[in-house]
Amino acid sequence: MFPGLRRNKKQAQKPSPGVPEEPQFGVSSEGEQVPEAASAAELAALEQSLPAAIDTSKPLLTVTGVERSFPVGGQQLHVLKGIDMSLYPLQLVMLKGRSGSGKTTLLNLIGGLDQPNRGEIRFKEHLFHQCGDDERTYIRRKEIGFIFQSFALMPLLSAWENVELSLRMAGVPRAQWKPRVTHCLELVGLVRRMHHRPFELSGGEQQRVAIAKAIAHKPSLLLADEPTAELDSQMGAQVMNVFRDIIRTERMTICMTTHDPTIMEVADRVFEMVDGKFINA
Ligand SMILES: Nc1ncnc2c1ncn2[C@@H]1O[C@H](COP(=O)(O)OP(=O)(O)O)[C@@H](O)[C@H]1O
Ligand SMILES: [Mg+2]
């Protein structure tokens, strides 16, 4: 339904490591010019720092037999009842399912925000089900980016400062902040709005700032919980175009939840959750 939004499996599975990408200007239909572009040297340094080669045959994340329950009213509420899934590098993976089926609970586990009662979660070489809180927090800050339905931006900070904040949090050296923030805002097509604060931006623009913020520290995995739910279909399509650009140019894997069948059309893989289990895995 969205032109230019079809998935491209070949592209997703067969990156061309080492081939410099053209600079992406994300949502260029707005005709935005870049007032303060990073210098060629800064961009070259940025290219250098991107991961060179990724083995797409090995999973980035493996979930095996995962169960999660919560104590509610003196009883255990079984929310996840045995989940198995693998996420491969450079995939756009979607979790679908009714409200209350357990999607957010699973996303929190995958992102190291929570731990399973049973089962295993391996992210790269890390075993999340065995890691302590501090170790998971450290891995998360370095390797994982989060996007939420409600954007989760700092209200008093500008778009630029919001993106910069995640570089501070991840301990990225200060010298890299300017080129990286510029690059991320270009990627989401928002350089012209860099000085705006969240309340001065539309919902779609806020979500694109949130995306720039979530990818600034170059995570290998981007998790997005219903990122298009509060957007109209056109803004939702823009967000999905940005996701495709991110996979292609930043070499990330994206796992997101959605209710929207039109959005699902662009997924490489869809897992359908019903009552704490996948029905199509
Ligand atoms: N921390 C918690 N304590 C108790 N129940 C929870 C907790 N987190 C989630 N649940 C319950 O787990 C079920 C699944 O929630 P959730 O993962 O948010 O579903 P979805 O994202 O698919 O809408 C819901 O019934 C919810 O109330
Ligand atoms: Mg949810």
Q: Which residues surround ligand 2, an ion (CB under 5 A)?
A: 103-104
Q: Separation of 110 CA from ligand 2 center, angstroms?
A: 14
Give the position, in ligand 1's atom list, of the atom nearest the Cα of 273. 22
Q: Is 241 in the pocket of ligand 1 (CB under 6 A)?
A: no
Interval between CA 65 and ligand 1 midpoint (Å):
18
In this predicted structure, what is the pLDDT of residue 149? 82
pLDDT at residue number 148: 85
Q: Which residues of the chain have pLDDT under 50?
A: 1-35
CB 75 less than 6 A from any atom of ligand 1: no
What is the structure's pLDDT at 47? Answer: 59
* Ligand 1 site, residue 68, Cβ cutoff 6 A: no
pLDDT at 2: 45
Give the model confidence (pLDDT) of 110-131 as tens digits: 999 999 999 999 999 999 999 9
- In this prediction, residue 241 carries a pLDDT of 94
CA atoms within 13 A on the CB side of 154: 13
CATH class of 34-278: alpha beta
pLDDT 10s digits, 192-235: 999 999 999 999 999 999 999 999 999 999 999 999 998 899 99
Residue 25 is predicted with a pLDDT of 34
pTM to 2 decimal places: 0.82
Q: Residue 178: its pLDDT value, please? A: 97
- The domain limits of the chain are 34-278
